[in-house]
Structure 1
Amino acid sequence: MLDAAVKALSQILSPAMRSILWRSIGLALVLIVVLAIGLQRLLSWLATSGEVWAEMFLGPSFQTPLDILAWIISIAAGLGVVFGAVFLMPAITSLVASFFVDEVADHVEREHYPAERPGTALPLPLAIAEGVKTASLTILVYLVALPFVLFAGAGFIIFFIATAWLLGREYFELAAMRFRSPREAKAMRKDNAAAVFTAGLVIAAFVSIPIVNLATPLFGMAFMVHMHKRLSGPRPELIEPERKARLPLA
């Protein structure tokens, strides 16, 4: 597994992957900006609406304290946008990954497994659907875990474990579906649940590093291509030529 991680890390910095890396980072930044603007508008609207409602309920004499409270809430909202963008990076990168699945996998397979049958490109709607599903599940799990952040950091542990499971699940199935049906890919992931989850911990650690985590789609996909190859075992197309080479000449 360590060897697979090192190979994935070295390859995402190679010239062949540089174009994908910049496009992936660009798309992730666009999504982060859109998310931040959306959150800021929502929180500002809630603060303004709450101030108007409170003034109507308490009376004009409370206008100054309410203005101060609204100002404090606006600052908190800005911090919340930054905090939210950081914690939603796994969801953002999982969505970004769905656009670059096959490009990354093709590079890995050509460089490290040239003698083997290449995978079949996934239909873009299927890849995007998987990315949206993982992003939605990530946000849902994070919302559930958020209240536990206040209790001795339990929420952060839940975040990390959930991220490992969700991202490990997505990247492995995307890599496996290049060679198997979606049902077979899911079955293989379940049969190797411990290995996939452990690999997911590596991806979760990667996505937790600021700035570096913008490259998560490339690292996660490349890493899981190697993991899928290892968990698939010996490939018949490689075994047969070796067997023939050992046969005595007639």
Structure 2
Amino acid sequence: MILDSASAALRQTLSPALRGILWKSLGLTVGILALLWLGVTRLIQAFQASHHISAQYPILDSLAYYLAGFGLFVALIYLLPAVSIVVAGFFLDEAAEIVERTDFPGDPPGEAMPFGRSMLYALRFAGLTLLVNLAALVIFFVPVIGVAAFFGANAYLLSREYFEMAAARFRDVDGASEMRRAHAVRTMLAGCLLAGMMVVPVVNLVTPLFGIALMVHLHKRLTRRSLRALPR
């Protein structure tokens, strides 16, 4: 079920129908990351200037510059899950509607959440994701544990957020959460796939759109499976 959903999601992500949303989501993701990069580099430069590091220790200044660049690269990887959730909140209903219409034409369409409510929900969860990833970043250099903490935390958080956003088009928030818990193994496996994509350069930029398509398919397949299991 997960592989079938992932294959269909990849096909949809690269399809002409979603190409416009793909470019918009890529642009927004890169834009947010660029702003974060710019903000942090300005803070580092201000710190160096205020402590006169450049004038007193030019070698240390150069070393700090390159170390800061590496640190920013690592930090942005840890920030990507939160950024991904915010971007998904912008394009969820537009992308989900296309996936539902093209791959499930005989099913009733989902109902879009009000944009303000959808973004508030996404921002709230992005904040939680950011806090968790900052905690994981603290133990980044601990062998094995740092990577495991990043992967495990984001597999859970991404599976929870993406699935519940897709499911909320057909049921209330409590119902979406209950369905996710009822199918915790499958949704977590889908989250593992998304967490794995986060650490692959370039590929991680398409995670928001791919995640939406993946969870729309997974929700639909789980719903159909549950209906078939009901006594007739």
Alpha carbons of structure 1 residues 114 and 30: separation in structure 2 relative to 1, 3 Å: same
| Counterpart for residue 6 of structure 2 | 5
| Counterpart for residue 136 of structure 2 | 145
Q: Contact (CA 8 Å) 1:47, 1:74: kept in 2 or not? A: no
Q: Contact (CA 8 Å) 1:167, 1:200: kept in 2 or not? A: yes
Distance 2:181 2:225 in 1: 20
RCO higher in 1 or 2 (8 Å CA, sep ≥ 6)?
Answer: 2
Tell me which amino acid in the other structure corresponds to 2:124: K
Distance 1:174 1:149 in 2: 29
What RMSD over aligned residues (CA atoms) do the two structures have, in Å? Answer: 2.3
Q: Is residue 101 from structure 1 mapped to residue 102 from structure 2 by the alignment?
A: no
Distance 1:90 1:8 in 2: 19
TM-score by structure 2 length? 0.90
Larger Rg: 1
Tell me which amino acid in the other structure corresponds to 1:224: M
| Counterpart for residue 212 of structure 1 | 203
Tell me which amino acid in the other structure corresponds to 2:45: S
| Counterpart for residue 14 of structure 1 | 15
Q: Contact (CA 8 Å) 1:164, 1:197: kept in 2 or not? A: yes
TM-score by structure 1 length? 0.84
Give SS of 2:200's match: coil
Question: For each residue in 1:192-248, what CA deviation from the matched residue of structure 2 results, as whole angstroms up to 9, or x when unmatched?
Answer: 222211110111122222111111111101110111112223587x9xxxx9xxxxx
Question: For each residue in 1:26-47, what CA deviation from the matched residue of structure 2 results, as whole angstroms up to 9, or x when unmatched?
Answer: 1111101101011111222233
| Counterpart for residue 123 of structure 1 | 114
Distance 1:137 1:93 in 2: 13
- Residues 222-233 of structure 1 correspond to what in structure 2 (within 5 A)? 222-233=213-224
Q: Is residue 92 from structure 1 mapped to residue 83 from structure 2 by the alignment?
A: yes
| Counterpart for residue 174 of structure 1 | 165
Unaligned stretches of 5+ in structure 1? 55-62, 244-250
Distance 1:76 1:185 in 2: 43
* Length, aligned pairs only: 229
Distance 1:100 1:148 in 2: 33
Tell me which amino acid in the other structure corresponds to 1:102: D
Question: For each residue in 1:90-118, what CA deviation from the matched residue of structure 2 results, as whole angstroms up to 9, or x when unmatched?
Answer: 22111111011011111111111111110
Distance 2:10 2:173 in 1: 27
Distance 1:46 1:173 in 2: 41
Distance 2:81 2:98 in 1: 23
| Counterpart for residue 28 of structure 1 | 29
Unaligned stretches of 5+ in structure 2? none
Question: For each residue in 1:166-217, what CA deviation from the matched residue of structure 2 results, as whole angstroms up to 9, or x when unmatched?
Answer: 1111110000100011121112222222221111011112222211111111
| Counterpart for residue 161 of structure 1 | 152
Distance 1:217 1:226 in 2: 14
Q: Contact (CA 8 Å) 1:148, 1:154: kept in 2 or not? A: yes
Alpha carbons of structure 1 residues 209 and 33: separation in structure 2 relative to 1, 3 Å: same
Distance 2:138 2:15 in 1: 41
Distance 2:169 2:147 in 1: 33
Deviation (angstroms), 1:67: 4.4
Tell me which amino acid in the other structure corresponds to 2:27: G
Distance 1:145 1:165 in 2: 14
